[in-house]
């Protein structure tokens, strides 16, 4: 009955059930009205029940739902009690109540995930149960790369719903890369006019990557971004934008050639990149580049209220800086040792710029090279080492090692796997991923804010493919991020798989094109 994913801290089952009917009421106390609105909408769609708005907590009928805050609980903690009085969800904050509401949806059965009722006569029951629950980590993230392949706005909103259903709360939005610039910046219109399209695109099905002579692109207007951020906020998800600098910037250089190292190459011949890998082009370390990106970040800060702003910093190619008189003059002027320190100066500039505006910088673990400003946080992707070093130096860390939680990597060694890149990372591998490596002392481990799964989309040109790579592994990841699991070797993967049987029915109802346990279907 209670095949919940992610697994709650404690579940005590009773023997009866609450039955929701046409007379059932929904009471949302102060601080929980947003959740009440969300719950009435999704359950109303799925069940056809109107869940009348109750003015006060009235459990006389025993068939209602009540939401309220309990200041004794931690911020994301909740308690769900289903008994003779109805269903009561209490949380330490609106977020806690929201995660409890997600649990309620799972208790109602897979049809509770549909957008319209299958039948008006169906009985909707919530088994009598007491659930106490709270997340292990405060950063439970999903990174989506919309630069390599654009995902239209509706698809992004759908991913936010899928995250919420798995109690994930940070959406890391990878908005720019060599292959595309996806966010409208009013003061630099060419970023999207030029930078959001590439003339041809490469797609990879099965073992034979193909060139397709068709253009690819798209971008989000600032209103689209506002809508995405608001939609996420309603689901207690924070959107952390990423503008990747100083590498991974060819789309920006194609739009504004003066951003590149014009004394090394003729940047006016560059177009938005149409292949994958590490690109040799890098932003010129000039005042013009700094002012340009300050303008970009000013607009980004207006759109995204998140504490953290991601600035990339990964795979910065330094050859052009070695060859550029301008870059070398900058190194001499700053009195620094070389190109690593130049990258760190570049990142540090924006770290200071952000903290002067009350925000905090986060970047990929390369930003540690050459020194990192106080208060900056690190996404540890090249394994655990960067995260360990950062935590020991007192920086906050999000663990997302590519060896474990890069969902672009194949999930089975079989020859039919439609996206055959990378290491094999099975559902079980992800389930046994441990975000806090044993070498950290408990004191150091406190710097691990949490973890995120990263979905890079070089070989995922549409939503079905993103679904296929992301699910079911995101369900295993969600349990790692939320639940207090034992050490990797002791985790009950068989029990998880048993609960997954119920979870696949939920994903079916949501229309998620996950990888079936039996292996890819012939057309995948
Ligand atoms: C490395 S992870 C990258 C991405 C690629 C990914 C492919 C990171 C910070 N950089 O640009 O898409 O590998 O797995």
CB 432 within 8 Å of CB 496: no
Cα–ligand 1 centroid distance for 454 (angstroms): 9
Name the residue with the closest Cα to ligand 1, atom 4: 456
> What is the architecture of the domain spanning 10-133?
2-Layer Sandwich (3.30)
**What are residue 57's phi and psi, to 5 degrees?**
-70, 110
Name the residue with the closest Cα to ligand 1, atom 12: 456
**According to the model, what pLDDT value does residue 273 have?**
95
Atom of ligand 1 nearest to the CA of 278: 11
Q: Is 132 a catalytic residue?
A: no
pTM of the complete model? 0.97
- Is residue 481 packed enough to be buried (19+ CB in 10 Å), middle (13-18) or exposed (0-12)? buried
For the segment(s) 139-510, the CATH number from 3.40.50.2020, 2.20.25.90, 3.40.50.11810, 3.20.20.80 is 3.20.20.80
Residues with CB under 6 A from ligand 1: 314-315, 364, 381, 406, 408, 456, 458
Where do you find CATH 3.20.20.80 in the chain? Answer: 139-510
Cα–ligand 1 centroid distance for 462 (angstroms): 18
**According to the model, what pLDDT value does residue 219 have?**
98
The helix-helix angle for 33-47 and 94-107 (nearest 10°) equals: 20
Where do you find CATH 3.30.379.10 in the chain? Answer: 10-133
What number of other Cβ atoms are within 10 A of residue 121's Cβ? 7
Name the residue with the closest Cα to ligand 1, atom 10: 314
Give the rounded distance of the alpha carbon of 177 from its chain centre.
17
Mutate-to-test residue for ligand 1 from 176, 202, 402, highest number of ligand atoms within 8 A of CB: 402
Atom of ligand 1 nearest to the CA of 456: 12
Name the residue with the closest Cα to ligand 1, atom 13: 456
From 3, 234, 315, 402, active-site residue: 315
Mutate-to-test residue for ligand 1 from 314, 366, 380, 404, highest number of ligand atoms within 8 A of CB: 314
**According to the model, what pLDDT value does residue 209 have?**
52
Pairwise CA distance, residues 246 & 284, whole Å: 8
Name the residue with the closest Cα to ligand 1, atom 8: 314
**According to the model, what pLDDT value does residue 461 have?**
87
Please choose, from the candidates 87, 91, 72, 66, the residue with its C-alpha nearest in 3D space to the C-alpha of residue 129: 87
Q: What is the DSSP-derived secondary structure letter of residue 290?
A: H
Q: What is the mean pLDDT of each run of 10 residues along the chain (524 residues)?
A: 91 97 95 98 97 83 94 97 97 98 98 95 95 98 97 98 98 98 98 96 56 85 98 98 98 98 98 92 98 98 98 96 98 96 95 96 93 90 97 97 96 86 93 98 98 94 94 98 97 98 98 96 80
Question: Which helix (H) or strand (E) is 354 found in, with range?
Answer: helix 339-355
**According to the model, what pLDDT value does residue 187 have?**
98
**What are residue 131's phi and psi, to 5 degrees?**
-120, 130
Atom of ligand 1 nearest to the CA of 457: 12
């Amino acid at each position: 009955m209670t095949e919940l994913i992610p697994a709650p801290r404690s579940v005590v089952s009773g023997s009866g059930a609450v039955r929701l009917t046409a007379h059932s009421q929904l009471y949302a106390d102060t601080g929980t009205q947003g959740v009440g609105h969300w719950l009435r909408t999704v359950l109303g769609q799925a069940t056809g029940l109107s869940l009348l708005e109750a003015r006060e907590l009235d459990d006389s009928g025993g068939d209602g739902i009540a939401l309220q805050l309990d200041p004794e609980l931690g911020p994301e903690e909740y308690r769900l009690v289903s008994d003779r009085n109805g269903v009561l969800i209490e949380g330490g904050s609106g977020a806690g109540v929201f995660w409890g509401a997600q649990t309620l949806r799972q208790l109602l059965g897979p049809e509770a995930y549909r957008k319209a009722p299958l039948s008006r006569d169906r009985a909707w029951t919530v088994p009598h149960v007491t659930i106490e629950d709270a997340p292990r980590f405060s950063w439970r993230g999903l990174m989506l790369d919309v630069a390599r392949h654009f995902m239209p706005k509706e698809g992004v909103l759908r991913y936010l719903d899928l995250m919420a259903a798995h109690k994930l709360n940070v959406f890391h939005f990878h908005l720019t890369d060599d292959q595309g610039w996806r966010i409208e910046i009013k003061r630099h219109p060419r970023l999207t006019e030029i930078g959001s399209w590439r003339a041809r695109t490469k797609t990879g099905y099965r073992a034979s990557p193909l060139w397709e002579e068709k253009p690819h692109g798209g971008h989000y207007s600032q209103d689209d971004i506002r809508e995405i951020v608001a939609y996420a906020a309603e689901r207690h998800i924070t959107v952390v934008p990423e503008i990747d600098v100083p590498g991974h910037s060819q789309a920006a250089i194609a739009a504004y050639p003066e951003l590149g190292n014009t004394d090394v190459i003729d940047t006016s011949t560059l177009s938005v990149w149409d292949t994958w890998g590490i690109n040799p082009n890098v932003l010129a370390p000039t005042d013009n580049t700094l002012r340009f990106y300050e303008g970009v970040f000013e607009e980004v800060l207006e759109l995204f209220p998140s504490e953290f702003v991601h600035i990339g910093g990964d795979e910065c190619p330094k050859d052009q800086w070695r060859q550029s008189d301008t870059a070398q003059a900058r190194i001499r002027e700053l009195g620094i040792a070389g190109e690593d320190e130049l990258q760190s100066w570049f990142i540090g500039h924006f770290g200071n710029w952000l903290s002067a505006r009350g925000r905090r910088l986060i970047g990929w673990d390369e930003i540690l090279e050459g020194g990192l400003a106080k208060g900056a946080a690190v996404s540890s992707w090249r394994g655990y080492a960067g995260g360990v070093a950062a935590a020991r130096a007192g920086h906050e860390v999000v663990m997302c090692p590519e060896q474990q939680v890069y969902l672009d990597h194949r999930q089975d060694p079989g020859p039919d796997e439609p996206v055959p890149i990378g290491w094999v990372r099975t559902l079980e591998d992800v389930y046994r991923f441990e975000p806090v490596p044993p070498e950290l002392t408990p004191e150091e481990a406190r710097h691990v804010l949490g973890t995120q799964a990263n979905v890079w989309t070089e070989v995922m040109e549409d939503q079905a493919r993103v679904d296929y790579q992301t699910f079911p592994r995101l369900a295993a990841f969600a349990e790692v991020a939320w639940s207090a699991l034992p050490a990797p070797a002791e985790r009950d993967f068989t029990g998880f798989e048993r609960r997954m049987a119920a979870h696949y029915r939920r994903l079916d109802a949501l229309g998620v094109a996950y990888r079936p346990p039996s292996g890819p279907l012939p057309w995948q």
